[in-house]
Amino acid sequence: MRAIVDLDCSEGELILNKKRRDKMKANKWRKLVALVPAETGWWSEKVGDHFFTDSDELKKIIAALDLPANIFNWQVNRLSSGEKQRLGFARALINKPEALLLDEPSAALDRLTTRKMEKLIKQQAKKGVSIILVTHDENQAKRMANRIFYLKNGKLIPHKDIQSHKEKLNG
């Protein structure tokens, strides 16, 4: 996923809605294709400094993720890992990306908040945003995805093939 957003050097062609990565500036591409890493970075002490807007839409996302409205005045070091994860997700939505790459988006969340996050992700998908979600939770994959791949020894294996692959490994 780091290679898709061009944070790591990579080869090959990437096209999103007829827009080619190699014909775009990297920072423009990353606004189109947003990556939310499992652990996001913080460059300032105050939460609010990490958001370049205070639009109503952001406030709605914050509320939908069960975060308090005054969280922008908090210190980052006061945040729990679950709050950081949700804020990282909210931050990525501000640029209105056309594709979202989510690395374990709910790893630090409890069941209830996970469901709220999943609801938001589905809303994005309904809007036409392409989503790649990496998870260790097989049930989450089944709840969320219309295509599932397993990562085995660095190779993507489609879900429908996984049974025969397992047999091959065992055999």
Partner 1 sequence: MAEYIELSYWDLALASIFILLNGALSIAFRLGLAKKLFIVTIRMIVQLSIVAFLLKAIFAISSPFLTLIVALIMGLFAGREIWARQNKKLAGIWGYSIGAGSMMFAGFLVIIIALKTQIQPDPWWNPQFSLPLFGMILGNIMTGISLALDNLTTTLIREKRAIEALLLLGKNRQQALLPFVQGALRAGFMPIINAMAAMGIISLPGMMSGQILSGIDPVEAVKYQILILLLIGGATGLGVISATIFTALRLSDERDRLRLDRVK
Residue 5 within binding range of partner 1, rule CB under 8 A? yes
The window from 22-30, 61-69, 112-120, 146-154 that contacts partner 1 (CB under 8 A) reads 22-30
Q: How far is the CB of 92 from partner 1 (least distance, A)?
A: 7
Q: How far is the CB of 161 from partner 1 (least distance, A)?
A: 32
Q: How does strand 33-36 pair with strand 99-103?
A: parallel
Q: Which of residues 18, 23, 25, 136 is near partner 1 by CB under 8 A?
A: 25
Contact residues for 161 (Cβ-Cβ < 8 A; gap 6+): none
- 115-139 CB burial, b ≥16 within 10 A, e <16: eebbebbeebbeeebebbbebeeee
Residue 30 within binding range of partner 1, rule CB under 8 A? yes
The Cα angle at residue 110 between residues 107 and 112, in degrees rounded to 5? 125
SS3 56: helix
- Closer to partner 1 by Cβ: residue 80 or 164: 80
Eight-class DSSP state of 80: -
Burial class of 109 by CB neighbour count within 10 A (0 to 12, 13 to 18, 19+): buried
- Closer to partner 1 by Cβ: residue 94 or 157: 94
Q: How far apart are the first and last CA of the chain?
A: 32
Q: Which of residues 67, 91, 104, 109 is near partner 1 by CB under 8 A?
A: 91
Q: Which of residues 31, 59, 116, 159 is near partner 1 by CB under 8 A?
A: 31
Go through the chain and tell me how many residues it has. 171
- Closer to partner 1 by Cβ: residue 8 or 13: 8
Counting residues that bind partner 1 (by CB under 8 A) gives: 26
- Closer to partner 1 by Cβ: residue 10 or 123: 10
Residues that bind partner 1 (CB under 8 A): 5-9, 25-28, 30-31, 34-35, 37, 39-43, 50, 52, 88, 91-92, 94-95
